[in-house]
Amino acid sequence: MSHKALIEKGRYAARLAENPGDIARAQALRARVFRPGKGPTSDADAFDPICRHVLIEDRDSGELVSCFRVLSLASGAEIGRSYSAQFYDLTGLLDYASPMAEIGRFCITPGVQDADILRLAWAAPAIVIESSGARLLFGCTSFRGNDTTPYLDALALLRDRHLAPEGWRPGVKAPEVFDFADNPIVDPDPTHALRVMPPLLRTYLAMGGWVSSHAVIDRDLGTLHVFTGLDVGAVPEGRKKLLRSASQSS
């Protein structure tokens, strides 16, 4: 069966899930990435039915190499419907008047390393977002594991350079957090900080993204995550051109 691709890059193509079988494949990959060795073969939750799911596949083999989901919201008044709202106090974004989109559950098949996958992971949402008119992208960006020690340089760099605007800054809601904004921790080594930072978060930051002042310790998924936002209107023009060109290439 042929599928309509949102965008193609190299040997990979990104498309929207078309049926329950597609979503089940995404949930199976998510279980491999977020719940390894924990037993479940499917990572499904109550947010899946209200999201659009994007699959990135190898065009030759059909193998699913990456996936993520997108939740479109009409404005900040709906942000309580988001996955992120379970973990962060997002009161500061309630008055955001424009459409928003939450990007979630982004993952790549373990062992697969190809820069084209990450390029598609940005180009595909650019197309989805353009159709919905979203002006703010947000989500939870995860570090592997619950231990903050390997990521102290990265968290210190976030503290020093990338905190959310004060009016939009998420408050603490989760029961277990690591507050790095008011923590002296370390003077960051920028090279090491970027090396241990999740690739998707590095891309957000390069676009002008910002993060919460604390990381949530998620015992269920075995991760640390920070709320990450990107004001589409504030993306530097050079970066916008790269996004546009990526979403138009094949």
The pLDDT of residue 244? 53
Greater model confidence, 126 or 47: 47
Greater model confidence, 101 or 235: 101
What string of DSSP letters covers 152-207?
Answer: HHHHHHHHHH-BPPGGGPPEE-SSSEEE-TT-------HHHHHHHS-HHHHHHHHT
Count other Cβ atoms within 10 Å, centred on residue 51.
20
Superfamily for 7-248?
A: Gcn5-related N-acetyltransferase (GNAT) (3.40.630.30)
Distance CA(232)–CA(184), nearest Å, equals 31
Greater model confidence, 130 or 11: 11
CA 200 to chain centre: 7
Greater model confidence, 180 or 112: 180
Residue 42's φ and ψ, nearest 5 degrees, are -140, 130
Domain residue ranges of the chain, discontinuous segments joined by +:
7-248
Q: pLDDT tens digit string along 207-222?
A: 899 999 999 999 999 9
Q: The tokens 């060109």 sit on which residue?
A: 245
Q: Which two tokens stand for residue 57?
A: 């596949």
Least confident segment among 86-95, 191-200, 231-240: 231-240
Distance CA(129)–CA(102), nearest Å, equals 10
pTM greater than the 0.85 cutoff: yes
CA 174 to chain centre: 19
In this structure, what is the dihedral angle of CA atoms 129, 111, 13, 105, given to the nearest 10 degrees? -30
Residue 120's φ and ψ, nearest 5 degrees, are -65, -35
The pLDDT confidence band at residue 243, using thresholds 50, 70 and 90, is low
pLDDT at 67 over 50: yes
The pLDDT of residue 250? 42
The pLDDT of residue 248? 52
Burial bucket for residue 192 (CB in 10 Å: 0-12, 13-18, 19+): middle
Q: pLDDT tens digit string along 130-167?
A: 777 899 999 999 999 999 999 999 999 999 999 999 99
Between β-strands 52-58 and 12-16, what pairing exists: parallel, antiparallel or unpaired? antiparallel
| b/e sequence 13-41, b meaning 16+ C-beta within 10 Å | bbbbbeeeebbebbbbbbbebbbeeeeee
In the three-class reduction of DSSP (H, G, I as helix; E, B as strand; rest coil), residue 65 is classed as strand
Q: Give me the chain's average pLDDT, please.
A: 90
What string of DSSP letters covers 70-88?
Answer: EEEESSGGGGGGSSGGGTE
